[in-house]
Amino acid sequence: MVVDDEGLRIIDANLNRAREALRVIEDHARFALDDAAAVRRAKHARHALREVIDTLGRDKLLTARDIVGDVGRDMKTASELRRDSTNDIVAAAFGRLSEATRVIAEHTKRTAPAVAAIVEGIRYEAYELEQQIALRGGVRARIRAVRLYVLITERLCRGAWFETAEAALRGGAGCLQLREQEIADRELLSRARRLRELTRKHDALLIINDRPDIARLAAADGVHVGQDDLAVREARRIAGAERLVGMSTHTLAQLESAVAEGPDYIAVGPMFASGTKPQDHIAGPQTLREASARTQIPLVAIGGVTPDNARMLMECGASSVCACAAVVAADEPDSAAQRLLQAVERHEQNPKCG
């Protein structure tokens, strides 16, 4: 494998650009978004670039480097020296990464096709990572911050469904999921849009069960799919890349498959026997504990959740608890939601170890 000095000089400069861009992206994912999955993807790309450097020869690249003779070193445009927001910083980093990996790939295709293939893989990985961070980064941070997630199903509501949803939000729910599988599409969309307005007023998230098309039309924050529904990638294509996709799992095998699909959060359950959605299989808290050891994707504990067991579920690794009847079927949904949230907050104030 022989690369001329001019080619090595170009490759070296763009490897530096790509590595620097990935560090900006990784630190943003780590410190601004607390997004462990995005951090891992950025870190993996940096390690792949290190493999490229080792393959081409670190000493050869350093020898080809000419800082003093670089005629473009001091050529800066006004826009290069200004960033108006964190989003601008991240967007610029992704731009540099895309351009740099393209240049490296082109200059290694003739003499080092194996290296070119590695770099092309990094470039396409970066495109997906940009979607994850730039489009969904903010809303992913919000779903990680949710502690109480409430399902809204009219047939289980003691009062009117909309007033029940409003009460749940007053009680502290950070996310509502509209779960209605037996009403006409037009009515479902109407309800989704009403809840969209309501959740915005309360600075809460809105997720639509099973229906990525309704989630998109209602400008919801995401869609939730089950084991027999659309795959995460297909749901995201319909709902829009900027929306969350959550997925239900009941076993560790399903969890492993879900992680491979890349959802933004994973529901694990049922934790206990539940009258809301009876299951032959009870996953239980131990499944949640083992799941939390296998992934850093936010885990939502669901099924039979009450104020008495919510704290224990958080200790098992849940990022939030999800309730339905415990809130919507209560005489006072706001008080019921508040009690659940208080149980979760007691864990955060005094978490147990082990």
Return d(Cα 45, Cα 18) in angstroms, integer: 10
**Sign of the alpha-carbon torsion through 78, 80, 82, 87:** positive
- CATH number assigned to the domain comprising residue 276: 3.20.20.70
Q: Are residues 111 and 35 in the same domain?
A: yes
Structural domain contains residue 30 = yes
What are the structure tokens assigned to 313, written together? 């579920």
Is the same domain home to 118 and 143? Answer: no
Is there a single domain that holds both residue 176 and residue 52? no
Are 186 and 330 found together in one domain? yes
Based on the fold, state whether residues 213 and 342 are members of the same structural domain: yes
User: Does residue 354 fall inside a structural domain?
Assistant: no
Residue that finishes a domain, picked among 100, 135, 170: 135
CATH of the domain at 97: 1.20.1260
Q: What is the pLDDT of residue 67?
A: 83
Same domain for 127 and 173, yes or no, is no
The pLDDT score that the predictor gives to residue 68 is 78
Domain that holds residue 166: 139-349
91 plus 151 within the same structural domain:
no
249 and 181 within one domain:
yes
Distance, CA of 58 to CA of 107 (rounded, Å): 16
**Across the strands, what pairs with 248?**
267
What pLDDT, on a 0 to 100 scale, did the predictor assign at position 70?
A: 77
Listed in sequence order, the residues at least 6 apart from 72 whose beta carbon sits closer than 8 Å to its beta carbon are none
Dist. CA 224–CA 210, nearest whole Å: 6
What lies within 8 Å, CB to CB, of 211 at 6+ separation is 188, 223
Contact 300/322 with Cβ under 8 angstroms? Answer: yes
pLDDT tens track of the chain, all 354 residues?
556 667 899 999 999 999 999 999 999 999 988 888 899 999 999 999 999 999 999 999 999 998 877 777 777 776 777 888 999 999 999 999 999 999 999 999 988 999 999 999 999 999 999 999 998 999 999 999 999 999 999 999 999 999 999 999 999 999 999 999 999 999 999 999 999 999 999 999 999 999 999 999 999 999 999 999 999 999 999 999 999 999 999 999 999 999 999 999 999 999 998 766 667 789 999 999 999 999 999 999 999 999 999 999 999 999 999 999 999 999 999 999 999 999 999 888 777 644
Whether 131 and 143 share a structural domain: no
pLDDT at residue number 354: 40
Q: For residues 122 and 229, state if they share a domain.
A: no
| Domain contains 169 | yes
Residue 287 lies in a domain: yes
CA 102 vs CA 7, 56, 123, 217, 353: distances in Å? 14, 17, 7, 36, 47
Q: Are residues 155 and 20 in the same domain?
A: no
- Which of 93, 110, 135 finishes a domain? 135
Which residue do the tokens 């003093």 mark? 68
Tell me, what DSSP letter sits at residue 29?
Answer: I
Domain assignment present for 305? yes
Q: Could you write out the three-class secondary structure of 46-70?
A: HHHHHHHHHHHCHHHHHHHCCCCCC
Q: How many domains is the chain partitioned into structurally? A: 2
Please indicate, yes or no, if residue 65 is contained in any of the structural domains.
Answer: yes
Q: Which of 135, 164, 190 is the last residue of a domain?
A: 135
> 321: how many CB neighbours lie within 10 A of its CB?
29
Q: Would you give the end-to-end CA distance of the chain in angstroms?
A: 53
> Are 89 and 115 in the same domain?
yes
Token output for 254: 């399903």
Residue 82: helix, strand or coil by DSSP? coil
The reply to whether 258 falls in a domain is: yes
Q: Provide the token pair at 300.
A: 């939502």
